[in-house]
Amino acid sequence: MSSPAMMLRRFCCFSTAVSPSTSSSSSAPTAKKKPLVFLGSPQVSATVLDALFNASSSPDSPFEVAAIVTQPPARRNRGKKIMPSPVAQHALNRGFSPELILTPERAGEDSFLYTLRALNPDICITAAYGNILPSKFLKIPPLGTVNIHPSLLPLYRGAAPVQRAIQDGVKETGVSLAFTVRALDAGPVIASQRWEVDDRIKAPDLLDLLFSEGSKLLIRELPSLLDGSAQAKAKPQDETKATLAPKVGLEPEPSLP
């Protein structure tokens, strides 16, 4: 069987030189800090990753980013050049080891799950990762997997919560920090932050704002996430109030009963 180090290299589909002067992260977790794995892909996810890098760089930080999981390199922009995801590129720019950037096609691949188990993360944090997490994944981190979702759950569960909220003309939305379960965006909510919606704001700007607020919410709640107390205080969602937010271009599904 391949070693964890070999598996990490196998999943890294690109390499970029990194500056030795950067200190936002290290290539491997230390014994004194709890390993955290971050999952995200688009540019808005980089805001969350930055917050984690900055928090982990503190000498008394109880955690560090052990690995990053993101979408594989793809053809982007007008030139259709194969490029890493925005999160992967941002991590490389911050000096994160390319060997610890994992890019599985699916989060349920056995080889990827083997690598994740070898990393032994205490907790996983997701922010717009864009891949379904199977039960085998969710069972790995003992402190759970926590997602930043740009809506006031249980409202607007799904891929396009911000776009659907603007389409509906809501006056208020927000961002939620919730444990990930197999059901779509249905896990217990740890904390949320409300945000008044300006009727002139565009979806991309509101998305940026909500992930920025979500980053602050995450850092505020990290102590409870890392000591396990968040699991006790998290509140189940009210299923009678749940609504769905499918991708734009698809007909909205009816609200859940």
Q: What is the pLDDT of residue 113?
A: 98
pTM: 0.86
* Pairs from 197-204 (Cβ < 8 Å, separation ≥ 24): 197/165, 197/166, 197/170, 197/171, 197/172, 197/173, 199/169, 201/166, 202/166, 203/162, 203/163, 203/166
Q: What is the pLDDT of residue 21?
A: 34
Q: What is the pLDDT of residue 14?
A: 40
- Residue found by looking up tokens 């109030």 in the block: 241
- Burial group, residue 23, by CB count within 10 angstroms (0-12, 13-18, 19+): exposed
Q: What is the pLDDT of residue 9?
A: 39
Tokens standing for 41? 């892909």
| 228 torsion bin: left (phi>0), alpha (psi -120 to 50), beta (else) | left
- Tens of each residue's pLDDT in the chain, 257 residues: 444 444 443 444 443 333 333 334 444 544 579 999 999 999 999 999 999 999 999 999 999 999 999 999 998 777 678 999 999 999 999 999 999 999 999 999 999 999 999 999 999 999 999 999 999 999 999 999 999 999 999 999 999 999 999 999 999 999 999 999 999 999 999 999 999 999 899 999 999 999 999 999 999 999 999 999 999 999 999 999 999 999 987 554 444 44
Distant-in-sequence, close-in-space partners of 44: CB < 8 Å, separation ≥ 6: 127, 128, 207, 208, 211
